[in-house]
Structure formats: C-alpha cells, structure tokens
Structure 1
Amino acid sequence: MTAKSFQNASAGRNRRIILWRHGQTAWNVERRFQGTTDIELTEAGREQARRAARLLASLGPDAIIASDLRRAVDTAGELAALTGLGVTHDEGLRETYAGEWQGLTHEEIIERYPEQYAAWKRGEAVRRGGGELETEVADRAAPVVLRHADKLPDGGVLVVASHGGTLRTTIGRLLGLEAHHWEGLGGLSNCCWSVLGEGARGWRLLEHNAGSLPQPVLGDDA
C-alpha cells in the first residue's frame, strides 16, 4: 500500500493510535540485540509497565493489540488488567528479525560485522545479521495497526504494545515518510509511547517518546 493510500484510508474519524514500547528487559540493560528473541521483562520493566498502564488507562482505550513476544505480551497485560479489555496478539508486530546479530552486544556486533554496522548507522538499507529490512518490518506491521484502527468508533483509541524498531518504522510508514527519513524520529525509551491522531490529510504525530522525563533509549533501536 502506498503512503497516500495509508493516509486516505484514515481520513475523517478523529481516531488516535498509541504506539507503546515494552518495558525493560535484561538484554536492554546489557545493550544486547534482542530482535525476535523472546526475552522476559525485568522486575523494573514490570513496574514500568504498571506505571505506564495507569497513565494510558486514563485515555480510555477502546482496543489493545500487541506483539506475541513475552515482553510485549506482559506489558500489554498490565493495561488489560486495568481496563478489562482483551488483548489481540499478532506476530506481525514482532521486533525486527536480526539474524546473526541477535544475542550479541553492540560492541560484539561492531567487532564481528564492522562494515554492516557502519552502513546501518549511516542509514543505508541493511539486512542486519541477514535479517529483515526496516521497510519489510513496516510492510508487515503497519497493515496490522491500520486494520485494527479501522474497527475503532469515531474518536476511538487503539493501544499498540510492540517494540522500538517496529514502532518507529510503523510511525514512519503511517506518516507517509520516505524510509530514509525514519531515523529522524528517534527511538522510544522503555514503556514510553508515541501518539498518532487523525487529521483531514491523514495521520499526524501528536506526541513522541512520551510518558516520563527524558530517559536513555536502551535497546536495538538505540
């Protein structure tokens, strides 16, 4: 689907999408690349999710969807417990698959894959560790988000619990930005979120990396 058709599909109903990153994991703290590896939240991550859920519940969400990886499942579960809403899990919302990079620290990646890492940091389209391109992640994740947003009532709120890299690429796609501009959005800190709202010409970014005072971004999208 083109950027224009994404925008046209969303026009006129004043809905909002809350794109919420999962809580902290041990691999975040260790600066170890997670990708699709199924890592649990730390106790600090669970507390982050509980705190964020209290704030997000006040927005009156109508629906919650989440990645099927445990760190996103457990994060979304905190909001579900407060709101009474069910959670729809979808593997299309998983983090970027990063092949041989997964499980390595950033320092180990730089040592073993220096050219690939440098190209990624320059913003080039890179299959990190032989994995997915960012555009491929957007291709699978953005339609999931739009499909559920289309089910919302006028003025409705959808919460999407997912992963930093996946959410950034999805935001870029829904805003109609070219892929080489997605890096300009920056990363999401653990359990922080971005808000997209509908305008006359499509989705607009209303808030980015909200939820706390500024915190360092720990994780694959740092």
Structure 2
Amino acid sequence: MTRFILVRHGQTEWNRFERFRGRVDIDLDDTGLKQAEAAAEKIARLEVKAIYSSPLKRAMTTAQLIAHPLGLEVQPLEGINDMDFGQWHGLSISEVREQYPELFALWRLHPERLEIPEGETLEQVRNRVAACIDELAAKHDGEIVALVSHRVVCKVLLCHLLGLDNSHFWQIAQDATAINIFEVSLSGFTVWRINDTCHLRDLKA
C-alpha cells in the first residue's frame, strides 16, 4: 500500500484574474506563498518519504516549501504537469467565451467532450496522470508520497480514484493548496480526504 498526499499549488496572479494557465510558467503571488507555507506546516507532521511536483514554477515553489521541513529534494515529474490548454493559454474566461463560444459552452457543461485546438482533452490528462500514480505506487510501496500539481490534474485524478467519469469534473472542488489524501493497494483505491483547506483558516480570518 502507498499513501499519497496530493496538493494543488498556491495562488498565482493569473488565478485571481481567471486566466487559463496550463503550461504557462508563472510563479506564486504573495498570497500563494503564504498558502504554501501553511500547507507545508501541516504536511510536516506526516512521515513523507518522497515529494514529486509538476515542473512548472507555481507547483515547484509550493513543493519546495513543503519539502524543506521534511528534509527532502523535490523531484520534477512531467506526468503531473498541468493540462495543455493549446490556443486558450493566457486567455481570460471572458476572452475564451467571446472567441470560442461553442467550445466554452462545452467546457462549462460537458468538459469531457471538449477538444481545445492544439491542446489536451481531460481524458488524455487523466490517462497520463493515472499511469504516473501506478508507477509511483509500485516504486514507493509502504511509503507516504507527496505530489504537487494543478487544479485540472487533481480533479481528473480524483474522478479516476472515485470511479467517476470526466463529466463529474466540475463536481470536484480543488482550492489553492487543497490537500487530498488517498491510498493505492492491491485491492484498489481508497480516498480519505478531498479539498482540505483547514490550514488556511488563519489566512482567511
């Protein structure tokens, strides 16, 4: 059995302005740094043996803050990189709604059907992330492993773990630095925690 601590990265400026981030390499803003530090303090209580991160700055910075008190080195992992949003990269929600009205309607109502020009589908993201989890579970049997990734990745992975298809994408909440905990064993998946942001209470006060 392998236990995974799955964390979404902290806030960026583009999160606040609701731009499609995908593979654009932007770092955390000041709030995101504070969120990541709070998540790190909570995760430091666990006996994490390895930490992997999407190679993008916003995830790597979050992961490095989590790794430091654990005395671990962050290992970048392409398989948990953010979704490739193709021609939507850098566009705001209003810009996508105006330039790609039919595709945007699919994104909001039937995300499982969406095919963004030059981008990935949710199913493609799900398949590569699920393959990564299988590999890491075999490599780290009996250990606790932390992963730092992105909203889309976390949402489709949780759909996979819960046996839900991608039409349930919007029903899975993933806030900044949300902590999710699940286990992989010979009998399958067990999800223990979803979208835990208790560590942010003091920041919201």
- 2:12 aligns with 25
1:188 to 2:165 alignment: no
- 1:172 aligns with 159
Unaligned regions of 5+ residues in structure 2, if any?
none
1:202 to 2:195 alignment: no
Aligned mates of 1:158, 1:214 — CA distance in 2:
22
Matches within 5 A, 1:82-161: 82-123=69-110, 124-154=112-142, 156-161=143-148
Checking the alignment, whether the CA contact within 8 Å between 2:161 and 2:191 is kept in structure 1 is no
* TM-score normalised by the chain length of structure 2: 0.90
Q: Which has the higher helix share?
A: 2
Quote how far apart the aligned CAs of 1:194 are.
Answer: 1.2
Checking the alignment, whether the CA contact within 8 Å between 2:35 and 2:200 is kept in structure 1 is no
Aligned-pair RMSD on alpha carbons?
1.9
Quote how far apart the aligned CAs of 1:29 are.
Answer: 0.5
Give the counterpart of 1:42 among 5, 20, 29. 29
Query: SS of the residue aligned with 1:150?
Result: helix
| Aligned residue pair count | 200
Query: SS of the residue aligned with 1:31?
Result: coil
Aligned mates of 1:68, 1:39 — CA distance in 2:
11
Quote how far apart the aligned CAs of 1:213 are.
Answer: 7.7
| 1:17-72 Cα deviation digits (max 9, x unpaired) | 11100011000011111011101110111111111011011122111110000000
Aligned mates of 1:37, 1:187 — CA distance in 2:
22
Checking the alignment, whether the CA contact within 8 Å between 2:38 and 2:199 is kept in structure 1 is no
Checking the alignment, whether the CA contact within 8 Å between 1:145 and 1:160 is kept in structure 2 is no
Quote how far apart the aligned CAs of 1:100 are.
Answer: 1.3
Aligned mates of 2:66, 2:32 — CA distance in 1:
14
Equivalent AA in structure 2 for residue 160 of structure 1: L
Query: SS of the residue aligned with 1:75?
Result: helix
- Pair 1:44–1:107, CA change in 2 (3 A): same
Checking the alignment, whether the CA contact within 8 Å between 1:95 and 1:165 is kept in structure 2 is yes
Quote how far apart the aligned CAs of 1:183 are.
Answer: 3.5
Task: Give the fraction of aligned pairs with identical amino acids, expressed as a percent.
Answer: 32
Checking the alignment, whether the CA contact within 8 Å between 1:195 and 1:207 is kept in structure 2 is yes
Unaligned regions of 5+ residues in structure 1, if any?
1-12, 216-222
Equivalent AA in structure 2 for residue 145 of structure 1: I
Query: SS of the residue aligned with 2:95?
Result: helix
Aligned mates of 2:161, 2:47 — CA distance in 1:
22
Checking the alignment, whether the CA contact within 8 Å between 1:116 and 1:128 is kept in structure 2 is yes
Checking the alignment, whether the CA contact within 8 Å between 1:18 and 1:159 is kept in structure 2 is yes
- 2:58 aligns with 71
Aligned mates of 2:188, 2:117 — CA distance in 1:
35
Checking the alignment, whether the CA contact within 8 Å between 1:197 and 1:204 is kept in structure 2 is yes
Q: Which runs of 4+ in 1 moved over 6 A?
A: none
Checking the alignment, whether the CA contact within 8 Å between 1:127 and 1:133 is kept in structure 2 is yes
* TM-score normalised by the chain length of structure 1: 0.83
Checking the alignment, whether the CA contact within 8 Å between 1:98 and 1:127 is kept in structure 2 is no
